[in-house]
Chain A
Amino acid sequence: MKKILGIVAALGMLLASTAQAGDFAEEKIVLQISDPNPFKQTLVLNVAGNVLKHYGQDKVDIEIVAFGPGLRLLFAENANKGRIKSLTDSGVKFSACKNTVKNMSKKLGHAPALNPAATQVGAGVVQIVDLMNKGYKLIKP
């Protein structure tokens, strides 16, 4: 009995991890924000919203990777935090470049407070390359 339960649990975990990888998604898109222009923040969120609306929440995986000056999008105080929360609730992932955080910390004298929706990744560019290797298409609005 224990053996069967173990197999069922392992199968469940496997299915869950497969689903997280987005195998059921018809499209996988990574959006890059690295521009200091505040208008680009609005634009990248608009694009994410439009893609989500077009394909439907279950048919597309979207990850927004922020690095360089674009990391300001993922500051906790950012004026777009309401929209970020809304997109997160719809399944959009947000990644923050650790290298940029480190560099900004030196300039600020302290680490910038990040949006709780943001996951820190080693390097924003490497994260994009990794995602592209997994079949994601790169869009840089």
Chain B
Amino acid sequence: MINKNIFTKTLSAAAVVAGLSAIQVAEAANWLMLQGTERPGAAGRAKVWGFIQAQYQSDSSEPFAHPTQGDLYVPPKLIGPNLTSQEQFNVNRARIGVRGIGMPLDSTVNYFLLAELGNNGITAGNGGAAMISDASITINTDAVRIRAGLFKTPGVEEGLQAIHVFDYINFTTVTNQLMLERFPQTGEANTTAPDLTEGNPNSINNIARPVGAFRDTGVQFFQSYKMGKWDHSYAVMFGNGNGLNFGNTADGNMDTYLYWASELAMGGKGPRAQGLKIFAWNQSGKRLNPNGASIDDVQDRTRTGFGVKYLKMPFRVTFESMTGEGMIFKGPHQPVGNYNDLTASGSYIDFGYYIPNSKWEIDLRVDTYTRDENATAEATFDTTTVGLQYHINKKSRVNMTYDMRDFSSEVAAANNQLKGVGDRLAVQLTHIF
């Protein structure tokens, strides 16, 4: 794991050096800039935009045949967010937003507002109601940009990137379990993995509040600098550590987010800009574990990662590795608590090939995640995903993915639930407007 102090000092020093260089502020195609700023002098008062994703998923996992409770299904064997079936159609994302510069004559201040109306971890816990996923204001100066409100936290590439250009349908297990934070409340204890044939399918998903969706409410200081063909970006953010939920967490501490990315531009612009990007990040904070041994069970929660992404048509390669300590999510199923204070780590590598002179793209992703490292409950989650995309046009595409999963644990009780996790097929249609 990267030492946080060294990381912080390096980040600060690099930011100072970059600032002293008084170089031209980049119009870089990076997530910090794409999501947090507008094109100066060339943005409207209010640009309405959004996207819809309609999908079908089918899971071929085998249930655990419990001697007395019937055939039991844990979350990886069911289709989320409802976790009621192994096969379903869904509108998993339907987002509409508006962004721009309130006073177009002055590009100093811009805003970003986005709402989620689809059925996913953001809305399902909230009874399916629409949720505001982003509401932020950015103040732009030559020295530093300041973004305040609710927005994506600088961190894991899978989460920070624009989800409507995500090349797969489901997140990697490491991102899903380690980075996509759940916020159970006291009393929302584990439930027994349900037997779908016994008429008790809903008890498994009883976390009422939305997932973090890689977002937080807070303030972020960031900037991007152009040095030759390289764009260097940094971000330092302080947030509540409470995801999409407003209000600080009961622990009363703020989360700190640190991020650095350097990108060699190779052409293009926007979310699919070509280049070689190297990045590193660190997130730290405290959480009150609602399933802890006592009501004041406050845990440190740290997440650290680094990666590299290369995109130069027709090839794409992405690698990212991350570790976490504290608040390791177990999932709302037996036999253990939602969270523990152990460590976990994982990584993924992704390959993409855009077939020349065609609208087809082939994808391959291998990801691994080890939970509760060096503990008796250690479990490993290995997945290989093959994907195919058909780009109907720049705003519309069809994704097809097939996940081959190999989950296991040395502990018999856990392994009983994991060993039957099988393959998963998903097809998704995306349209951006």
Which of A's residues lie within 8 Å of B, judged by CB? 36-38, 41-42, 69, 72-73, 75, 77-80, 104, 107-108, 112
B residues near A80, Cβ cutoff 8 Å: 41-42
From residue 84 to 126 of chain B, which have CB atoms closer than 8 A to chain A? 104-107
B43 partner, pick from A38, A108, A112, beta carbons under 8 A: A38
* Number of residue pairs spanning A and B whose beta carbons lie under 8 angstroms apart: 38
Residues of chain A lying within 8 A (CB to CB) of residue B42: 38, 41-42, 72-73, 78-80
Q: 8 Å CB contacts to A: which residues of B268-301?
A: none
Whether B105 pairs with A79 at a CB distance below 8 angstroms is no
Q: Per-residue 0/1 for B132-174: is the Cβ within 8 Å of any A Cβ (1 yes, 0 no)?
A: 0000000000000000000000000000000000000000000
SS class of chain B's interface: helix, strand, loop or mixed? loop
In the bound complex, CA of A36 to CA of B46 (Å): 11
Residues in A with CB closer than 8 Å to B106 are: 108
Inter-chain contact A104/B105, CB cutoff 8 Å:
yes
With beta carbons under 8 angstroms apart, the residue of A69, A78, A104 that contacts B40 is: A78
Question: Could you tell me which B residues sit within 8 Å of A by CB distance?
Answer: 27, 39-45, 104-107
Q: Does A79 lie within 8 Å of B104, measured CB to CB?
A: no
Closest residue of chain B to A42, judged by CB?
B42
A72 surroundings in chain B (CB, below 8 A):
41-42, 104-105
In whole angstroms, how far apart are the Cα atoms of A42 and B105 in the complex? 17
Residues of A with C-beta under 8 A to B39:
38, 79
B44 touches A77 (CB 8 A): no
Question: Can you list 9 A-B pairs with a CB-CB distance of less than 8 A?
Answer: A36-B45, A38-B39, A38-B43, A42-B42, A77-B40, A77-B107, A78-B41, A79-B41, A112-B105
Complex Cα distance, B42 from A80, in Å, reads: 8
Determine how close the nearest CB of chain B comes to the CB of A72; give it in whole angstroms: 5
Which 5 A-B pairs rank lowest in CB-CB distance, beginning with the nearest?
Answer: A78-B41, A79-B39, A75-B41, A77-B40, A79-B42
Most buried by B among A78, A79, A108: A79
Residue of A at shortest CB range from B41? A78
A77→B104 CA distance, assembly (Å): 12
For B27, B43, B106, which residue has the most chain A Cβ atoms within 10 angstroms?
A: B106
Chain A residues positioned under 8 Å from B44 (CB to CB): 36-38
Q: How far is the CB of A111 from chain B (nearest CB, A)?
A: 11
Q: Which residue of B lies closest to A115 (CB)?
A: B41
Supplied contacts A73-B42, A80-B42, A104-B105, 12 more A-B pairs, CB within 8 Å: A37-B44, A38-B43, A41-B42, A72-B41, A72-B42, A75-B40, A79-B27, A79-B41, A79-B42, A107-B105, A108-B105, A108-B106
